[in-house]
Chain A
Amino acid sequence: MSEIFTAEFWGQYGTLLLEGFRDTAIMVGISAVLAYLIGLPLGVLLILTGEHGIRPNRTVNRVLGWVVNIGRSLPFIILMIALKDFTRLLVGTYIGVTGAIVPLVISAAPFIARMVETSLSEVDAGVIEAAQSMGASTFQIVWKVYLPEAMPSLVLGGSISIITILAYTAIAGTIGAGGLGDLGVRYGFYRNVSSMMLVTVLLLIVIVQVIQTIFNRVSTGIDKRLR
């Protein structure tokens, strides 16, 4: 294990690890942004159309709930394989960083929708009623009440979503997605280079810690209820 502190190890694997880290960052970053573009509106719709929402609509709510549940019930690795033709159709390949982003987004979006729904449901119903009593439109209530009032909770949810996507990228690595997971599998598992396994694991731990710490601080920092 001590070889991870040697110049020889870093000379041999340093570039690989750097590229792996870069690929992971790209996959997580792009997937998270795209998944939020889908998941956030979905979560908002789930809240609005829910039984106690401001636009109750049982049919829409049920259909959305179904779609989200189906997306959430498939293990990521199964989804990734099941989607490979769709992925190739969409982005031209189902392997590598690009190929991984499609299933990552499709898998994370429903998860994010539920996270958003939970965060928004924490907003006091009385505050929503007050906004309605002032003549706020549905759009204004979403944009100026729900989202800002739930922001600390949404940020915390963001860290959970991003870390989940990070975990998915490691899984995606097993079928050639690239990134740290791919390195861990190829070198740590197939070639049995235990030091590589150790370094990728340590890197993943550090990344998760950093993400969680940053998001926790941001969430607490913006929450005006804590003053």
Chain B
Amino acid sequence: MPVSDSIIQVRDLTKTFGQGDASVRALRHINLDIKQGEIYGIIGLSGAGKSTLVRCLNLLERPTSGSVVVDGKEMTALSEKELRLARRSITMIFQSFNLLMQRTCLHNVCFPMVISGVKKDAAKKRAMELLDMVGLAEKANAYPAQLSGGQKQRVAIARALATDPKVLLCDEATSALDPTTTNSILSLLKDLNQTLGVTVVVITHQMSVIEEICSKVAILDNGQVVEEGLVTDIFAHPTTDAARRLVYPGGDIPELLVDSSKVIRVAFNGGTAYHPLIASLAIDCGVKVNILGADTRNIDGKAFGTMLLGLPEDENEAAKALSYIRAQHNITVEEVEYHV
């Protein structure tokens, strides 16, 4: 058997809650391969089974059937003690941070080390390094109640890194944060992924989060992975309804689109919000484009989000518009296919 380079390998995973007629099939025949060092997104609307899926990866939920291999270990076959050990290398951060409220930040970060038997002094030293890494060294002796949401999540990230994990699971880690803070947490995760090589699994319902940091994505709908692949591919060619709902701004593609010769999806990745793209396109190139849908946000004066544009019928004009937009900084363009 060839050695797999996947750090997480899920095969035919099924999770059913309850029994008989009252049973709910939360996850059905899930297959995933997450490679070492990747930032992998799992996206779906609420109720799609994302949280259950991520909890099946560290066995906080025991799968009803199927296999979960993390770092070469079949998680479902581990004894309770082995599982506790394995969890030190697959740590997790949460939407509601879940810090110990009666302990200082320093002691929160020490906690996973203390429970795994690291000496107090060594744990404190390492915890200070980690707090420094997330930019909160000066808050070491503060209690979580004294911190903002973003700061709490930074402490939670430091805590999750304390046992030098190979995988960091992020369960809606930015969903309780405002856009500015979300962005700073996402860039922290990106940095940590690059500097430490930790594999990051991001669970979210926000496409913008996936767009911001993930290289690959699985779309979860009604307990099944309906689409999986490179983020850029899925954005360009969403083939399922679930994917379209997530990819197109405003939820669904307008009827109007069917008549348009060419449709492009423009993603704003943090260019200045004060540069009016559509207006300057009209003035500089004399090309008028049709805004079919838009979901953009202004974060710290930078534009984030997506816009769906219908290009003119005339091929020359369309090509002109396309090359103009492509030449802009911090903007990516994909051509979109849509089949009725």
B163:A132 contact, CB within 8 angstroms: no
A149:B100 contact, CB within 8 angstroms: yes
B115:A140 contact, CB within 8 angstroms: yes
User: Bound complex: CA of A126 vs CA of B194, how far in Å?
Assistant: 29
B92:A224 contact, CB within 8 angstroms: no
- Chain B residue nearest to A145 (CB atoms) is B100
- Chain B residue nearest to A226 (CB atoms) is B145
A129:B115 contact, CB within 8 angstroms: no
Chain A residues close to B by CB (< 8 Å) = 124, 126-127, 129-137, 140, 144-145, 148-149, 151-152, 222-227
- Chain B residue nearest to A138 (CB atoms) is B80
Chain B residues with Cβ under 8 A from A131's Cβ?
111, 115
Chain B residues with Cβ under 8 A from A148's Cβ?
100, 102-103
A227:B143 contact, CB within 8 angstroms: yes
Q: List CB contacts (< 8 Å) of B110-158 with chain A.
A: 111-112, 114-116, 143-146, 156
A135:B60 contact, CB within 8 angstroms: no
Grouping DSSP codes into helix (H, G, I), strand (E, B) and loop, the A interface class, with mixed when no group exceeds half, is: helix
B268 to chain A, nearest CB (A): 34
B115:A133 contact, CB within 8 angstroms: no
Chain B residues close to A by CB (< 8 Å) = 58, 60, 83-88, 91-92, 94, 96, 98-103, 111-112, 114-116, 143-146, 156, 159, 163, 169
- Chain A residue nearest to B165 (CB atoms) is A134
**Which of A124, A126, A135, A222: most chain B Cβ within 10 A?**
A135
User: Bound complex: CA of A133 vs CA of B171, how far in Å?
Assistant: 12
Chain A residues with Cβ under 8 A from B85's Cβ?
135
- Chain B residue nearest to A133 (CB atoms) is B92
6 A-B contact pairs sorted by A residue (CB < 8 Å):
A124-B96, A135-B86, A148-B100, A224-B143, A224-B145, A227-B146
| Other-chain residue from A124, A137, A225, A226 in contact with B98 (beta carbon distance below 8 A) | A124
A134:B111 contact, CB within 8 angstroms: yes
| Other-chain residue from A136, A223, A224 in contact with B115 (beta carbon distance below 8 A) | A136
B102:A129 contact, CB within 8 angstroms: no
B306 to chain A, nearest CB (A): 32
| Other-chain residue from A124, A133, A152, A225 in contact with B91 (beta carbon distance below 8 A) | A133
B102:A130 contact, CB within 8 angstroms: no
A128 to chain B, nearest CB (A): 9
- Chain A residue nearest to B169 (CB atoms) is A133
User: Bound complex: CA of A206 vs CA of B331, how far in Å?
Assistant: 74
User: Bound complex: CA of A136 vs CA of B156, how far in Å?
Assistant: 16
Q: Contacts A135-B115, A226-B145; is A126 near B98 (CB within 8 Å)?
A: yes
Chain B residues with Cβ under 8 A from A124's Cβ?
96, 98, 101
Grouping DSSP codes into helix (H, G, I), strand (E, B) and loop, the B interface class, with mixed when no group exceeds half, is: mixed
B145:A135 contact, CB within 8 angstroms: no
User: Bound complex: CA of A152 vs CA of B101, how far in Å?
Assistant: 11
B111:A225 contact, CB within 8 angstroms: no
B115:A134 contact, CB within 8 angstroms: yes
User: Bound complex: CA of A222 vs CA of B146, how far in Å?
Assistant: 15
A223:B102 contact, CB within 8 angstroms: yes
B91 to chain A, nearest CB (A): 7
Chain B residues with Cβ under 8 A from A130's Cβ?
92, 94, 98-99, 156
Q: Contacts A148-B102, A149-B102, A224-B145; is A137 near B84 (CB within 8 Å)?
A: yes
Chain B residues with Cβ under 8 A from A222's Cβ?
102
Chain B residues with Cβ under 8 A from A151's Cβ?
102
User: Bound complex: CA of A148 vs CA of B108, how far in Å?
Assistant: 13
User: Bound complex: CA of A225 vs CA of B143, how far in Å?
Assistant: 8
Q: Contacts A135-B85, A136-B84, A136-B115; is A225 near B60 (CB within 8 Å)?
A: no
User: Bound complex: CA of A224 vs CA of B100, how far in Å?
Assistant: 10
* Nearest 5 interchain pairs by C-beta: A130-B98, A135-B87, A135-B84, A126-B98, A224-B143
Chain A residues with Cβ under 8 A from B102's Cβ?
148-149, 151-152, 222-225
Chain A residues with Cβ under 8 A from B87's Cβ?
132-135
| Other-chain residue from A126, A135, A144 in contact with B94 (beta carbon distance below 8 A) | A126
User: Bound complex: CA of A151 vs CA of B103, how far in Å?
Assistant: 12
A127:B60 contact, CB within 8 angstroms: no
User: Bound complex: CA of A135 vs CA of B113, how far in Å?
Assistant: 10
- 10 extra interface residue pairs, beta carbon distance < 8 Å, beyond A130-B156, A134-B91, A135-B163: A126-B98, A127-B101, A129-B94, A129-B98, A130-B98, A134-B159, A135-B84, A136-B115, A144-B114, A225-B145
A72 to chain B, nearest CB (A): 29
Chain B residues with Cβ under 8 A from A136's Cβ?
84, 115
- Chain B residue nearest to A123 (CB atoms) is B101
B84:A127 contact, CB within 8 angstroms: no
B112:A129 contact, CB within 8 angstroms: no
A129 to chain B, nearest CB (A): 6
User: Bound complex: CA of A9 vs CA of B112, how far in Å?
Assistant: 63
- Chain A residue nearest to B80 (CB atoms) is A137
Chain A residues with Cβ under 8 A from B84's Cβ?
135-137
Chain B residues with Cβ under 8 A from A227's Cβ?
143, 145-146
B60:A129 contact, CB within 8 angstroms: yes
A55 to chain B, nearest CB (A): 11
